[in-house]
Structure 1
Amino acid sequence: MYIYRVIVTTFDIMKDFLSGSKFYPLEIVIDDREPDAMLEYLLFYKNIIVRKERLLVGDYLIDSELIVERKTPSDFSASIKDGRFFKQAGKLAISKVPACLILEGRKREYKNLGFSKNAVQAILMSVSLIFKIPILRAKTQKDTVSIMLQSFKQLTKDKLADYKFHPRLKPKFKSQRTDKYLKQKIHILEGFPGIGADRAEYLLNHFGSLQHIFNAPESDLLSVIGIGKSTVQKMKVILNKVNFNDA
């Protein structure tokens, strides 16, 4: 699994959204089959933590709040011919996380796919009316990234008060020289989903010990730079999981 940390400028279209102090750094998971170019466009945004791994549903998972399926003309055509398209639409429809479909490319590109105009319209009507999945349009990969983030903003507009936004600065870990178990502590914390070396150091610098981290309430954990709600929830699930051996 690859983890990318971003500390660079934003596209103008999302500058206001991602620069306010009330927004929390977004966690975006990209399916590892997506092109590297999409990752590069995301890397233009600051305060986004990007992970690349295999997703079972969709191509992008934004902060555990929105699933995005991205289709180019060639992928749209191929997925219809091999039967993947409606299987993917079915998974999106039953997902507990809201989902949308982004058709990337110019409209004329969808006219030369070997399907009649009526057939394409019927397919898209099924997606929107039967599967109840919103369909969005984007001309380029860059547009797709902007539309994904705008969709997330629209979806979570009533929750934005809960989001915080901080610059991703390297933490100054005061006890690096005195704590001979620092590496072991960081290694333990890195075993939790969504926690890398930087986040582990933020947690240790804030709470001082593993025991204090594990016993901390969710609200205290969320006050730490770089720690999001989904990360905290996964940590708590793992810590509270009880395994019983068969008698």
Structure 2
Amino acid sequence: MTKEHIQIIADDREQQCDIPSIMARCTEVELLVKRLPCGDYSVGGWLLVERKTVSDLLLSIVDGRLFRQAYKLSQSAMAALLIVEGHFKEKENPALDRRAVLGALASLTLTFGIPVLRTQTCQETVQLMLYAAKQHQFIQHGIVSRGGYHPRSLHKRQLYVLQGFPGIGPALARNLLQTFGSLSAVFDASEAELNNVRGMGVTKAAGFSQLLGSQYKESQ
């Protein structure tokens, strides 16, 4: 496979940190800077990344901004990811109980279906996004099979199948199965019916229906 450039769109408000300048020095990155409707970085047109330093994460929990952002990310047609950058320090925000932080992170992953990954520095954040983009390229070219964890129980295998679709995380997969009752019923559901499932949204419902209903062509 020939080496492909990775197109990354950085929100223009991210120019105050070092990440866009680090990306600009990467020969494999095609960097664009403009205002994004949600998220801080669009990676390869398939991954939407919200990046937060530890202090900003804590502030966004206090003022409720985190959950508004999480809702917008969950409605995107792209897969979503929250990267928390830096080190948690004792008494970073004395007014915020540790239980509130754990509850917020649990809500992000289980309710909104947004995975949370940790990095220590801006450089590591860039590397993480590039690793994700390269792995996605490998899969798109059929180089990597879906290996690793294979659940044994029936209900976990059903969830696993749905989580193989772009933008469908554990919470949304569970909502789909609880709503329709079986995988075949999920696949037979209309776009309008899918749109009514909590966490699905218009764009994800349209993308899911298109993926299931489109004729396979080798050149696509």
- The residue type paired with residue 57 of structure 1 is C
Listed one character per residue, the Cα deviations across residues 7-33 of structure 1 (whole Å, up to 9, x for unaligned) are xxxxxxxxxxxxxx5232111100000
Residue 66 of structure 1 is aligned with which of 22, 38, 47?
A: 47
Residue type of the alignment partner of 2:84: L
Q: Which amino acid aligns with 1:76?
A: L
- Are 1:112 and 2:100 matched, yes or no? no
Preserved CA contact (<8 Å) 1:73 1:113: no
- 1:130 corresponds to which residue? 111
Decide whether aligned partners of structure 1 residues 125 and 94 sit closer, same or farther in structure 2, where only a CA change above 3 A counts.
same
Residue of structure 2 in register with 1:17 after alignment: none
CA distance in 2, matches of 1:107, 1:83: 20
Higher Cα Rg, which structure: 1
Instruction: Note if contact 1:76-1:85 (Cα within 8 Å) is conserved in structure 2.
Output: yes
Q: Does 1:103 align with 2:101?
A: no
Which residue type is aligned with residue 127 of structure 2? S
The 5-angstrom pairing of residues 178-193 of structure 1 reads none
Residue 23 of structure 1 pairs with residue 25 of structure 2: no
Q: In the aligned structure 2, how far is the partner of 1:118 from the partner of 1:80? A: 12
Matched letter for residue 131 of structure 2: Q
| Matching residue within 70, 87, 92 for 2:68 | 87
Question: 8 Å contact 1:66–1:99 — kept in the other structure?
Answer: yes
1:147-158 residue pairs with structure 2 within 5 A?
A: 147-158=128-139
> Is the contact between residue 7 and residue 44 of structure 2 (CA under 8 Å) also seen in structure 1?
yes
Whether 1:56 aligns to 2:30 is: no
**CA displacement 1:67-87 (0-9 Å, x = unmatched):** 100001222122223221101
Deviations 1:200-236 (A, max 9, x none): xxxxxxxxxxxxxxxxxxxxxxxxxxxxxxxxxxxxx
Q: Which has the higher contact order (CA 8 A, sep 6+)?
A: 1
Instruction: Deviation per CA, 1:166-202: give whole Å up to 9, x if none.
Output: xxxxxxxxxxxxxxxxxxxxxxxxxxxxxxxxxxxxx
What is the percentage of aligned positions where both structures have the same residue? 38
1:44 lines up with 2:33 in the alignment? no
Per-residue deviation, residues 43-102 of structure 1 (Å, max 9, x unmatched): 231131111111111000011111100001222122223221101001111211001000
Equivalenced residues, count: 141
* Counterpart-to-counterpart distance in 2, 1:28 and 1:85: 23
Instruction: Give ranges in structure 2 of 5+ residues lacking alignment.
Output: 144-220
Q: Is contact 2:61-2:101 (8 Å) kept?
A: no
CA distance in 1: counterparts of 2:32 and 2:137, whole angstroms: 21
Backbone CA RMSD of aligned residues: 1.9
| Contact 1:22 1:161 survives alignment (8 Å) | no
User: Which residue identity does 1:89 align to in structure 2?
Assistant: A
Q: Which amino acid aligns with 1:45?
A: C
Aligned to 1:32: 12
Normalising by structure 1, what TM-score? 0.53
Q: Say if 1:70 and 1:101, in contact at 8 Å, map to a contact too.
A: yes
TM-score, normalised via structure 2 length: 0.59
Is 1:22–1:160's contact at 8 Å kept on the other side of the alignment? Answer: no
